[in-house]
Amino acid sequence: MVRDVLRHALVVSSVAGASSKASLRAVLEVASGSFESWIAPCSDQAEQACSDLGQAVRAAPPDDDDVDALAIWERHRKKIQDYGVDVLMVDPMVPDAHHEYVQKIDRARSELRADGLLAALDAARRWARTSEPLTFAKLSAWQEDILVERRPSFRTAAARRGHHTYGFDAWVPTRFDRCLDEALDPAESWPTRAARLYLDVCFFHPFEGGNARAARVALDALLAREGLILTCITPLVLLRRSALDPNGGRRLAGLLQSLVCRQVERFPRA
């Protein structure tokens, strides 16, 4: 049971982006004195320790407050190549999990947010039925629907989210364009390309706002181009991902294989 608690601490650390030193301090502070050494802790003790560890790790600062998450991600992103593909079932009656999530969760947050996402999803899926390339201009058009504002341009300065900085130089937009080209490269498996595209949008952080939603729409578009549909989206949306995790992309590729279904009928080619 104690090992379960410690494992929980490590998972939370990875999700929150906390440093290893901060994670260790949190484990020591929360777990020390919480358990009797000659018995397994009761479930209430373990549950409380998990909760306390999660709060402690999330509140802890990283070792380096100025880490460039984009630079680290660009070093990690190639590690998920050649991911094997399992055979996916074909189910014409599977529900559209992304659409349902927008209607239930995003609409509860804001009618405008939900309407913008649905408009962007419709446009992205129309693109999927064509042979058009995936470009920043196309992502920007979808982002215009998402944010309900004039078509946004690529950011022109470093961005920041929490403890992470997303660096910027004159070549960042060009490198992002190359990433978008790779997303449609048939030489690589769809889980590799889908995971990489989702995280590219998250960590290149091309827009001033709404990048998480942009990543969702871009992923949905790529899956639709492959004749796939999300049957569950909650694990993808609720788990925060860190550019500092060297294996995060590979784990996401594996997760996507369990969240999609092949459904050629819903996305016929034009």
CATH number of the domain at 255, please: 1.10.3290.10
How many structural domains are present in the chain?
A: 2
203, part of any domain: yes
Structure tokens at 217: 């729409």
34, part of any domain: yes
CB 208 within 8 A of CB 183: no
Residue 137 has pLDDT above 80, yes or no: yes
Domain check: are 121 and 237 in the same one?
yes
Domain check: are 212 and 171 in the same one?
yes
| Residues spanned by the domain of 224 | 69-266
64, part of any domain: no
Per-residue b/e over 166-179, b at no fewer than 16 CB within 10 Å?
bbbeeebbeebeeb
- pLDDT, residue 8, reads 46
Domain boundary among 18, 39, 59: 59
When comparing pLDDT for 246 and 64, which is higher? 246
Domain check: are 29 and 104 in the same one?
no
Q: How many helices (H) and strands (E) does the chain have?
A: 13, 4
Domain check: are 40 and 86 in the same one?
no
CB 222 within 8 A of CB 183: yes
Domain check: are 217 and 140 in the same one?
yes
Split at pLDDT 50, 70, 90, the class of 199 is very high
Q: Which of 21-30, 97-106, 259-268 has the lowest mean pLDDT?
A: 21-30
Looking at residues 201-207, what average pLDDT do you find?
A: 96
- Judged by DSSP in three states, 53 sits in helix
Split at pLDDT 50, 70, 90, the class of 62 is low
128, part of any domain: yes
Q: Which of 5-19, 122-136, 148-162, 249-263 has the lowest mean pLDDT?
A: 5-19
Domain check: are 98 and 224 in the same one?
yes
Residues 6+ away with beta carbon under 8 Å from 48: none
97, part of any domain: yes
Domain check: are 55 and 77 in the same one?
no
Query: Model confidence over 84-126: pLDDT tens digits?
Result: 666 566 766 778 999 999 999 999 999 999 999 999 999 999 9
196, part of any domain: yes
- pLDDT, residue 203, reads 96
State which of 67-71, 85-89, 172-176, 237-241 shows the largest mean pLDDT.
Answer: 172-176
Rounded to the nearest 10 degrees, the angle between the axes of helix 211-225 and helix 190-204 is 160
Domain boundary among 11, 29, 59: 59
Domain check: are 218 and 113 in the same one?
yes
Q: In Å, what is the CA distance from 237 to each residue of 80, 115, 152, 233?
A: 20, 18, 23, 6
Q: Which of 122, 84, 116 is nearest to 213 (CA)?
A: 116
| Through-space distance between the first and last CA atoms of the chain, rounded to whole angstroms | 55
| Angle made by CA atoms 266, 267, 269, in degrees to the nearest 5 | 140
- pLDDT, residue 9, reads 45
Residue 1 has pLDDT above 50, yes or no: no
Distance, C-alpha 154 to centroid of its chain: 20
221, part of any domain: yes
When comparing pLDDT for 193 and 151, which is higher? 193
- pLDDT, residue 148, reads 86
Per-residue DSSP letters for 159-228?
EEETTEEE---TTHHHHHHHHHHHTT-TTS-HHHHHHHHHHHHHHH--SSS-HHHHHHHHHHHHHHHTTE
- pLDDT, residue 49, reads 66
Domain boundary among 59, 79, 95: 59
Q: Which of 204, 207, 211 is nearest to 182 (CA)?
A: 204
Cα separation, 270 vs 224, in Å, equals 13
Percent residues over pLDDT 90 in the chain: 51
Percent residues over pLDDT 70 in the chain: 69
Residue 14 has pLDDT above 60, yes or no: no
- pLDDT, residue 50, reads 63
Domain check: are 103 and 170 in the same one?
yes
Residue 57 has pLDDT above 90, yes or no: no
Domain check: are 90 and 12 in the same one?
no
Domain check: are 27 and 74 in the same one?
no
Domain check: are 155 and 262 in the same one?
yes
Residue 228 has pLDDT above 80, yes or no: yes
When comparing pLDDT for 149 and 219, which is higher? 219
Residue 20 has pLDDT above 90, yes or no: no
pLDDT averaged over every residue in the chain:
81
179, part of any domain: yes
Residue 212 has pLDDT above 70, yes or no: yes
